[in-house]
Amino acid sequence: MKSMLLDFLNVTESAAIAASPWIGSGDKIAADNAATNVMRDTFNLLPISGTVVIGEGEIDDAPMLFIGEKLGKGNSPELDIAVDPIEGTTPTVNGQRNAITVIAAAPKGSLLHAPDMYMEKIAVGPKAKGKIDIELPLQDNMKKVAEANGKQVNELNIYVQDRPRHEEYIRTIREAGAKVHLFRDGDVIYSTATCIKNMNVDMFIGIGGAPEGVLSAVAMKSLGGEMQARLIPQSEDEVKRCLRMGMKEPKCALYHHQLVNSDDCAFIATGITDNLLLNGIKTDSGQHMTQSILISGKEKRLRYIESVHVMQEARAATIES
């Protein structure tokens, strides 16, 4: 996996650049389509035999890199691939913060195979690893996280997506005296931030997409944190989809090793717009400037990568002159 990291970086950078003309456009379908097509095309240049096990599109009615799709030239290694060509389509097309393009990869059979549906998630950093239990009440988990982090409960910083479905979480956290930090989009960003010391994010909790959950789980495993989850099927059809994918108990608790069971994994994200982890794309004088994070599970290392990409038009003009 280590030898593929820069190739994977090229995938996210290319998809982010493809999405950048649609920043502020209001056109979600065009933005997602641009990023998805370039991500697929770039993956298909790689000497891998990849299978999309976590795809995007069903919840947002966007063009898909669909679950089961084959990527790469068909060579070894055989890999599970999780993708979100634009995590934060709405902020992208509204010119707002918190949009990234992101992928994760691990050896075949290592990532959870789950439909694109809602998932309850709880995430903590390395100090609280092994202390949480999604089956316990939120108050109990807060006490355990506070103790692990050397804090009082009223000192905890807990990040929750600003959605009506999270009103009970928000009420419980505030009644306990802890601090709620609301965000509109980007739960991959905020769950991953629990593992980065200077971010001061003690816990992430909420209900969001399963693709984002598995992507986050790879980043967090590589950085020593922990995520637990539970799928939340919204209909009998979604329950049947889980069963068809081999999940005998669709609503059971999913522990971190069930989301990703290999240390030989990789998580790569490139900023589209500015966010807590990354700067968004900047364009100037015929160049795109990108910032990305590259996380290697084998090395337990996070790298920040800044790249300059010369636009094709600018390159052609230079050659002609």
- Cα(259)–Cα(281) distance, rounded to whole angstroms? 30
CA 153 to chain centre: 28
CA distances from 264 to 2, 184, 219 (A): 8, 32, 12
Our measurement of the distance from residue 34's CA atom to the centroid of its chain's CA atoms, rounded to an integer in Å, reads 19
Name every residue whose Cβ is closer than 8 Å to that of residue 143 and which is 6 or more positions away in sequence: 153
| Alpha carbons 201 and 275: distance in angstroms, whole number | 14
d(CA 62, CA 39): 14
Among 119, 135, 277, smallest CA distance to 192 is for 277
Distance of alpha carbon 48 from its chain centroid, rounded? 21
Residue 65 DSSP one-character state: B
Is-cis flag, bond preceding 77, omega within 30? yes
Angle between helices 138-148 and 167-175 (to 10 degrees): 50
Residue 243's H or E segment, with its range, is: helix 236-244
The rounded distance, in Å, linking the Cα atoms of 176 and 226 is 23
User: Are the CB atoms for 98 and 88 separated by under 8 Å?
Assistant: yes
Place of tokens 């800044």: 306
Q: Show binding-site residues.
A: 32, 56, 84, 87-89, 118, 163-165, 185-187, 209, 212
Q: Which residues are annotated as a binding site for Mn(2+)?
A: 32, 56, 84, 87, 212
The amino acid at residue 278 is: L
- Annotated binding-site residues for substrate read 87-89, 118, 163-165, 185-187, 209
Residue type, position 35, single letter = A
**Rounded to 5 degrees, what are φ and ψ at 248?**
-70, -30
